[in-house]
Each structure stands twice: as C-alpha cells, then as structure tokens.
Chain A
Amino acid sequence: MNASAQKPDRTRVRFLQGNEVCAEAALYAGMRYFAGYPITPSTEIAERLAERLPQVGGSFMQMEDEIGSICAVIGASLAGTKSMTATSGPGFSLMQEAIGYAVMAEIPCVIVDVQRGGPSTGLPTHASQGDVMQVRYGTHGDHSIVCLTASNHQDLFGIVVDAFNFSEIFRTPAVVLIDEVVGHMREAVDVPAPGELDLTERLLTDVPRDVDYHPYAPREDDRLPMSNFGGVHRYNVTGLVHDMWGFPSEKPTIVNDLIHHLYLKLENRKRMLTRWREWSLDDAEIVLISYGSSARSARHIMENRRSVGVPIGMIELQTLWPFPSELIRARCRNAEYVVVVEMNMGQIVHEVKRAVDRPERVFLSNRVDGEMITPTDIKHLIRVIQGKGV
C-alpha cells in the first residue's frame, strides 16, 4: 500500500473526488451491488456507481429510502454479493435499526457516511465530524462495530478496501466515515493495479451438502464460515437472539455467549483492525490526534511548528472503532499535552481521555460552525495551553 515509495505510474493517476474514490475503491474490492437514496453530500457515490456498476456486471438500485437501501444491501450480501450503501447523517440515522440487524445476524456490508453538519437536516453542504459516536452507539443494544476514515484520497482508496475486507473477515457492518470536505475535495489518486491491494473473500463453510451445518457456531478464532442463501445449506437468519442454528432462543447461556461474541470478536482484535499514521512522536511534548479532513489542518500546523523547533508530533487515526486505546496510551505516554482536533463538540476526545494516563492533559481543538478547522485555530489553542496567549 505504500505507493508513495515508488515512482507513480502517470498513466494510472486519476484526479478524483473523494466520493468517486469511494465508488472506485468499492468496485476494486469486488462490490457488485449498491442500493442507495440521494442525499447531500454523498450523492456522487450513487451517481458514479449507477454508471460504473453495470459496466462490470453489477447492479445499482435507487431505493425508496435509506431504510430500504441498507436492508437491500444486507439481503444481497446474504445471497453472496459484496454490497454497499452510502448516505449522510439523516440517512445514517434511518439506517440504524438495520445496521443492528447486520450486527446481530452477522452479515457483511459496508456503509459510507459522508458527514454533514447536524443535528437534523443541519448543514447539508458543510463540514462536520458529528457522527462519530452515532457510528459506535447509534443502533440499540450492546455490540461493537468497525469504523474507518481517511484524510486524503490515496489513503481513502485503501481504507475502503480494508472496510470490505474487515466486513467479510468479521461478518460485520463496516462504516467508512468521511466528511464533506474529503467527500467533495478533488485530489490525485494513484489507482492501485488489480492484485496490488489484498482482497479478503468470504470464508465459506466446507461442510458438505446434507451434513448438519451450524451457521452461528463460531470457530475458536470467532469467525463464522458462511453459507450464502441459495447454497446447499438452508438455515434461519434472524435479528432475535438465536442459537447456533439461527433459531430464536431466550436461554440465558445462549444470550450471554452471543452478546460476548458480537462484542469481543472485534474488541479483541484491535491490533489487526487499527489503521493509523504518525509523525514526529519520538520527542514530542505536544501530541496532536486527529482524523478525516481535520487531520489535514493538524498535520499542517504540526509541520509548521516543527520547522521552528517546537517538539510536536501527531497521530492520524484511520480506525475510529473499535477505538485503539492501547495505541493512544502508548504513544501519548511522554506527552505534556495531547490536543484532539475534530469538528464536533468533542467525541473522540473522550475516548482519548479514557485511554491516556493523564486525562487532565488532554484538550479539544474544535470548530462546529460548518467551516473547516484551520491550522491557525489549532495554533491558537496550543498557545493558550502553553500560557502564551493568542
């Protein structure tokens, strides 16, 4: 994935919008069914896939609403087709119940949420990162979930492919959480050649026809070999708590095992799930933590301050959920100050405070007026923390 190390092949560099990158990366990952509903600022994903999917033999479908979209995506995935939907905050709210179904029934799917300002209709065409906690806790009940993000289009391409891989490996919904700035910005992307990025295909059961197959009996590694609908194994899929046959059960031991399985299959595998970048942490007294488009401003001010000798470093999170708390604790151990940069009233900052040894040293640099946070905004906060005044 380290494309920058080699000299880019000019013929495959494309000038793409972030939303278009999501569409192209999904096709690269093997996604062949997309169902969606128009909503700013994600609509370009649907528009591009309406044109591109049929060219590779796939199907695009405009559904009657976002609820129908995510449900159709889950149905198509259960029948063996890698599937995706894309939306923004209001549509993402509508999808929550079905996301919980995909969690409970353990059906792989990918959801792109291109964040806008909220709550409610909010600011459809402006920047915000207010959906972070909704991804984690939006659907009811205990569970874990995969959420990835990126600040630039080159990374975004790989992150979308990762989301498909993780969704198949762990049989979970995976959310690609970008924001309006990343979604609408145009940037050069060195499009990977086929085979350059690893693709994980679905783990299918090797239980032969007419032999009892237990669709919901996890292996020791928590993975569930799947049998697609229409295959040789017939079983029941339900959003109810279920036994290893997928049949409803209220038996306390079965309930307990299932809830633990849904939670721990992801929370115990952060090492594999965590994607991040880091700069200049070795001697950093100030550590910036950011993600998405905010990380572009954070990185700018980090490099700017470094150039005048300030001991500052940075972590850019690409996996938001499950939250990489061990990574954050280790990397911030020697920091005097940790500044979380995000465009909301403070969401990831609370996770960082929970993770580090000295939460009182964690500060929030934010902006919620619909404008992108600037390097100057962050610089001002750092000066205040240092007692230098703005």
Chain B
Amino acid sequence: MAATDFLRKRFMPHIWCPGCGHGIIMRALLTAIEKLDIEKNDIVMASGIGCSARMLGYIDVHTMHTLHGRALAFATGVKMARPDLTVVVPMGDGDALAIGGNHFIHAARRNIDMTAIVMNNSTYGMTGGQYSPTTGCGEYGTTAPYGTVVQPFDTVELATAAGASFIARTTTYHAREMARILADAIRHPGFSVVEVLTQCPTYYGRKNEKGDAVEMMERFRDCAVPVGPLDDNGRATAADVEAADASVETIPIGVFRKEVRAEYCDAYRRQVIEPAVAAASAAADAAGGDR
C-alpha cells in the first residue's frame, strides 16, 4: 500500500496555508505507517484543536478530533479499551504544552503506549498568531506586540523530566529522517514523544521576520545538530551538541531517549487484572456457588 492510499481524498483540499509545514509531517507520518505495515483498521488517531489537529480528517484510519489539549486523555481511554490498537496523537505546541500540559506530562509518566507528535510552529496558527509556550523570549505574536517576557518550554527536556520512554526531535526540513523516527516511535512499546519543528510562515514567520517557508526551513537545516548515538541505557550522548559553536543557534535533533520500561496497559493487566480475576475466581470456587 502506498502512503497516499491512507488519504481521504474526498475531503481535500486541505485547510493549511501555502508554505505550512504540517503537510510535510502528514506525509512523513503516512510513510512511517506504510513502512510499519499496520492495517488501517488497527490505527486510531486522536487530535485536539488547532491547525495540527485537522490532519486527522484527511487520514483514512479511525480518527477522533477532540477538544483543545485533551487528545491524549481521549486516546488514553481508547488504548485502555483496546490495548491492541496503535494510537497516534498529533498535537500542536499550544495544544500539547499549554492547555494540554497536564495530560502531556501524565501520559508520559504513565508510559502508556502511544505516540505523541508535537508539531511545534511556535504559535497559535488557527486563531491568528498568538504567542505560544514555545515562542522564544522576546519574540512577537498578536498577543505579544512588545515581545514575550517568558522563556519557552523545551519539549524534549519536559518529556524527559515527565518520564516519556521514547523522545525525539526533528524538523520539516528532515522529512525522510522524520519518517524513520516516527516509525521508530510508533513501534516503541511505551509513551513516545516526537517534536517536529514546523514552519508557520503566515503568522510566526511574518511577525518575527523569519522569512518565507523556504527560509524558515533553511534555518532548520542550518541550525540542526544531530545528537550522539544512544548509550546502553537508551540515552543520547550529547557530544555533538557540545561540539557545536556556542555562539551559533543550534537545534539538537535526533533520538534523545529510547528505553524499555513497563508499559501502563501491560503493567495494569499483569499486576492488577490477572491477580484480581484469579482471586475472585478462587473465592467463588471456595464459596461453591456459580459465578
């Protein structure tokens, strides 16, 4: 099956602006799914609200377009009901880290098997370019006409602290690597976070004089520094990042963490359900009655 066979073509054209990076992410995601050879019927995608969230409408799997910030919570229920399904959650930066920040850190803490894609364009695109939790300090948005006065979140560090077991960052410039990373993330049995830096030339780019879509992607290319290989504990060695010139802006990309830890659904089944069912069954047998 070709990647484009996963598209719901009758719902095209899509709503994204010319130059938007989200289509590149959708293509990489479809390529990853194609590579993994998963049945369409075995995939559930949940999204929140925003430009990122609209991706789902165009993908021919089970799709759930939910509430702003809450996609991971909806997806958690789906996964608990059907642990056999593959669950993917594309989110925006405001969606994942502002209104959905609580669900994000707790999904990571639980290490529940799903893949969160944080499509980070440093702005709220759908509402017209307000500053987001990943807008850089001093940068502009329609609600930051004098520049923001706060530090942005670092998605990778946040996911690391919260306990996600697979963490990666890539950009829309690195489309092929993105597809490989997404396949790896979906295959990983635990909570996977893939941050994709993506360009919003319409709002973030214009407000902050970052140039057009091509220039914004060239910046991703020029600033990207691959992290080192994973060590025995599944943690990236940071050598390459430190080797970079500190005076130049850098974007560390690659896989930062990949460690095998107890997955929530599996652990709950083994530690809670199986012993409880066995004990209830034994109690019923002891009572001699029909259950």
Question: Which residues on A are within 8 Å of B, measured CB to CB?
Answer: 33, 35, 51, 54-59, 61, 63-65, 67-69, 71-81, 83, 97-98, 101, 229-232, 234-240, 247-248
CA distance A248 to B63 in the complex (A): 13
Nearest chain A residue, comparing its CB with the CB of B42: A230
A229 and B82 within 8 A (CB): yes
Q: Which residues of A contact B74 (CB under 8 A)?
A: 71-72, 74-75, 78
> Which listed residue (B42, B46, B62, B80) contacts A76, Cβ 8 A?
B80
Seed contacts A54-B275, A69-B73, A72-B77; 6 additional CB < 8 Å A-B pairs:
A55-B279, A58-B273, A59-B268, A72-B74, A83-B77, A229-B64
Q: Is B91 an interface residue (CB 8 A)?
A: no
Q: Beta-carbon contacts of B61-81 to A below 8 Å, as 1s and 0s?
A: 111111100100111111111
Q: Which residues of A contact B78 (CB under 8 A)?
A: 75-76, 78-79, 229
With A64-B106, A71-B66, A75-B46 in contact, is A234–B61 under 8 Å at CB? yes
A61 and B76 within 8 A (CB): yes
Q: Is B254 an interface residue (CB 8 A)?
A: no
Shortest Cβ gap from A135 to chain B (Å): 19
Cβ-Cβ contact count across A and B, 8 Å cutoff: 140
A54 and B272 within 8 A (CB): yes
Q: Which residues of B contact A67 (CB under 8 A)?
A: 70, 73, 103
A229 and B62 within 8 A (CB): yes
Shortest Cβ gap from B24 to chain A (Å): 22
CA distance A75 to B105 in the complex (A): 19
Interface class of chain B by DSSP: helix
A234 and B60 within 8 A (CB): yes
Interface class of chain A by DSSP: mixed
Q: Is B233 an interface residue (CB 8 A)?
A: no
Listed by A's residue number, 8 A-B pairs whose Cβ atoms lie within 8 Å are A61-B76, A63-B106, A64-B106, A68-B103, A75-B77, A79-B44, A237-B65, A248-B65
Q: Which residues of B contact A61 (CB under 8 A)?
A: 76, 80
B60 and A75 within 8 A (CB): no
With A55-B279, A231-B41 in contact, is A79–B77 under 8 Å at CB? yes
Residue with the highest number of chain A CB atoms closer than 10 Å, among B77, B78, B273: B77
Q: Is B280 an interface residue (CB 8 A)?
A: yes
With A55-B276, A79-B82, A236-B56 in contact, is A101–B66 under 8 Å at CB? yes
Residue with the highest number of chain B CB atoms closer than 10 Å, among A64, A67, A235: A64
A33 and B81 within 8 A (CB): yes
A57 and B62 within 8 A (CB): no
> Which listed residue (B61, B65, B81, B102) contacts A75, Cβ 8 A?
B81
